[in-house]
Amino acid sequence: MRVIASAICVGAMALSVAACGGSGGDSASSASASASASSAAVPAAASSADSAATTSAAPAVAAGAGAEPAAFAQCKACHSTEAGKTLVGPSLAGVFGRKAGSMAGFTYTAGFKKLDLSWDEANLDKWLTNPAAMAPGTMMAFPGIADATQRKAVIDYLKTLK
- Per-domain residue ranges for the chain? 2-160
CATH number belonging to domain 2-160: 1.10.760.10
Q: Identify the weakest region by mean pLDDT among 41-45, 88-92, 146-150.
A: 41-45
Give me the helices (H) in the chain, please.
2-19, 25-38, 41-54, 57-62, 73-76, 110-113, 121-129, 131-134, 148-160
Q: Is the pLDDT of residue 149 over 70?
A: yes
Residues 6+ apart with CB under 8 A from 155: 96, 121, 124, 125, 128
**Greater model confidence, 104 or 52:** 104
Residue 4 predicted with pLDDT over 60 = no
| pLDDT beyond 90 at 45 | no
Chain centre to alpha carbon of residue 78:
6
> pTM of the prediction?
0.63
Q: How far apart are CA 93 and CA 7, in angstroms?
A: 23
Quick check: 13 pLDDT over 50? no
Q: What is the pLDDT of residue 25?
A: 34
Is the predicted pLDDT of residue 56 greater than 70, yes or no?
Answer: no
Examine the pLDDT at 58 and tell me if it is beyond 70: no
Question: What pLDDT is stored for residue 66 in this prediction?
Answer: 76
Region 41-67: what's the mean pLDDT?
Answer: 44
